[in-house]
Amino acid sequence: MKLVSLLAALIALPALAQDYPGKPIRMVVGFPPGGGTDVVARIITPRYSELLGQSVVIENRPGATGTMAAGQVAKSAPDGYTIMMGHVSVNAIAPSLFGNLSYDVIKDFAPIGIAAAVPHFVTVHPSLKVSSLNELISYLKTKPDLTFPSAGNGSMPHLAGEIFSSLAGVKLVHVPYKGSGQSMQDLLGGQHLVAFDTMPASAPHVRSGKLRALATSSSARLPAFPDVPTAQEAGLPGYQVTTWYGVFAPGGTPPAIVNRLHADLVKAMQTPDVKAKLEGIGADGTVSRSPAEFAALVRADTARYAKIVKEIGLKMD
């Protein structure tokens, strides 16, 4: 009986792909509104919906640093109607940090394409009277109990802070939240004085003057923030951290559906207003990588960050 059901499903796949999409699509975001993953998803989905001919509805499912939502998406029907705005922490770094993941980052997802790649800011609250990265590092060496917030244990803002601490020779106390939207509120309120969050989460507050950016983790200055030096320029060589966000479907999704989702993602990203908005948050404006290229990046980053996590001795069990 199982064999008959499997054969019937396989026969139905070409027709499913041909008629796709025939109803609205859910895009799961594993964090609350306001964080980088959510910001990127909301920039892309209006145009993505138009191109696909169906609404792409964002569904925020925060919890366990995005891994809870990823586990749910991994177990969803591979029919293209549940997709995820994933990112490097959930889809490449998590296996090195968490020993009880409910999903396999390679086998349980079908990569569709990169939506954005962004550096991080080293930001401070305006009440902290430092004006350069070197001044911050000197200050932190006298304050080993200073806290920094992140989007959660094992998130990229967490890892960015740990890498910074290791390179700068300072000690900071990590305080995890359920997303960058929540951690940012306490940072703006002065409960924390330093942070290492992504550009999408930080950029509006840097522009408004509510946060002061001392450096970026990029390899070159950003056109949107030409006055902010790179960490290399500011005196901390080797501090280069990038967060990518990408669209994933459950593993086993038919290639025809994956290719359709990828093709319209590329078209959406090439739209002038979408491209301008992504560049406004410091995102790389290049066209999305192909599904095969994206899959290769996931494999490479999974191995690369496993080495980094081991070197800095970070583990979340």
Q: Is the preceding peptide bond at 21 cis, omega within 30 degrees of 0?
A: yes
Q: How far is CA 291 from CA 7, 162, 187, 205, in A?
A: 26, 31, 37, 34
Q: Which residues of 89-107 are buried (b: 16+ CB within 10 A; e: fewer)?
A: bbbbbbbbbbeebebebee
Please give the Cα distance from 121 to 179 (Å, whole number): 16
**Which pLDDT score, from 0 to 100, does residue 315 have?**
76
Cα end-to-end distance, the chain, whole Å: 41
Structure tokens, 33: 């509104």
**Which pLDDT score, from 0 to 100, does residue 250 have?**
98
Q: How far is CA 295 from CA 115, 126, 300, in A?
A: 14, 41, 9
The answer to whether 196 touches 148, Cβ cutoff 8 Å, is: yes
**Which pLDDT score, from 0 to 100, does residue 2 have?**
38
Domains of the chain: 2-118+242-312 (3.40.190.150), 119-234 (3.40.190.10)
Q: How far is CA 146 from CA 143, 166, 282, in A?
A: 6, 15, 28
Structure tokens, 299: 């494999």
Residues 6+ apart with CB under 8 A from 169: 137, 141
Angle (CA) 311-312-313 rounded to 5° is 90
Q: Could you tell me which of 70, 64, 75, 66 has the C-alpha nearest to residue 37?
A: 66
**Which pLDDT score, from 0 to 100, does residue 223 have?**
87
| pTM: predicted TM-score of the whole model, two decimal places | 0.83
The single-letter code of the amino acid at 232 is: Q
Structure tokens, 20: 């796709």
Residue that the structure tokens 């586990």 belong to: 71
Question: How many Cβ atoms are within 10 Å of 232's Cβ, its own excluded?
Answer: 17
Q: Which residues of the chain have pLDDT under 70?
A: 1-17, 285-287, 317
Residue that the structure tokens 């999974």 belong to: 302
